[in-house]
Structure 1
Amino acid sequence: MSFFEKHKIKIIFAAIMVVSLALTFWLEGRTPEKHTEDTQVTSTVKPKKQKQKKVKVTSEPTAEPTAEAEEENAPAPEETEDSAEYFTEQSDIGEEINDATESKPAAAEQASNTDDKMTCTIAVRCDTILDNMQLLKKGKESLIPSDGIILPNQTVNFYEGENAFNVLSRELKRAKIPMDATNTPAFNSVYINAINNIYEFDCGDLSGWQYKVNGNILSYSCSQYILRDGDVIEWLYTCDMGEDLK
């Protein structure tokens, strides 16, 4: 009997063991690949979660523009403060005009009691409107005198240093004729808006009040013209930017 035949069973058993061990090692070699694949899959899933976090982060800055918009809207209270200051300045202007008109009569009376009297002639007319009644605003007809004379020629006293506006405001107040004026202290300028409730632009776009001194129309404010003894002051309403007063 040969060696193979004698140990045939053992050899077959050993071969089976070797094959089984080889198969076992081969299978064990395959399982790590599966684990790596699983880890790769999980690793690919993680970035998706990170992307979701990024979306949350980008949603947060949307609140910032609203805050900036609120900051842009915040200066609104400052505008109300400016408007309040504006009305305060307007009231101060009115007080300055009143102070100027009320303090002058006493000085004029003192001047009239002295030997060195200074006088001027003053008159207020709106007769140009009579030739342009078709341009007059409705409801203003009753304000226009039939002869166009609001304040007739009269000689009045004034004191040294008074200007044309001082005398006008004093004499209109004495005659109880209403007047509306705008004062600009920065330029020492007073603008006559209305006399006897007849306003600029009431008789056309080119209408308003102008004044003459000794027959000449002056282009600067009446508060800037210092009166001289014997001056003739005329306040005239124009319907054509002064062309109808020449």
Structure 2
Amino acid sequence: MGLNSAFALSLSHETVIPSELVQYVVPRFSLKTRIRFDPVESSGDIQLVTVRPETGAEVMKLVSGETVYITAAGGAVESSDYRAFVDWLVSEPGRATIAAFELDGQQIAIPTAADEAAPIEMVIVGNIDHGRELSRDHCRRCHKVDRADKYAGIDNAPSFHAMRTFDDWYIRFSTFYAVSPHKALISVEGSGIEKNRALITIAPIDLQMDDINDIVAFVHSLTPLDLGKPLQFNP
């Protein structure tokens, strides 16, 4: 499935991984992020497997002994939806969701500790120049995109350079269209998120997944803002 498809990525899991567990975890991720996946029996764009893949992350251990990894096939590895799912699975809410699931009163899986999860390789595939153009056209009304632009941004919106210092900047910029306030006016073809355009009261912003990759590439090229050392308090 191409990344510019209007449909959601597909998700499959090995039969040894209880389907009830997957059906418990995925909707809770979707409720949080409004990112959905289409379940398939095998060879999904996103796969939960028990054999360690070349790329991916460990996310849980089944009480039956198997280790479960998440990986992506083909171009899906570049999808912000896939990366958001991985990030959520190893986050505190995701780990709590995995740990909370029980089958016949018994815990089925133990989440992988966040510091033990295999890292996901960051893949930058976008066009920096186009990402800069998109950011100036659509983002400068709230965020300072160019530090030399004195009239861009509003006081309560951090600049791109400031957000570039965040540990999770990649996830933030890869999924910004799925969270408030952006989700109220931005439509991204290929994201799997459907909108009722009749409810959008201002001029909507229409993007494609390639545009998101371009914005991420542009932000990756920025020099993080020096925010200084953390405040120190005397005991």
State the structure with bigger RCO (CA 8 A, min sep 6), 1 or 2. 2
Q: Which has the higher helix share?
A: 1
User: Could you say which TM-score interval applies, normalised by the shorter chain?
Assistant: under 0.3
TM-score, length basis structure 2: 0.23
TM-score, length basis structure 1: 0.23
Larger Rg: 1
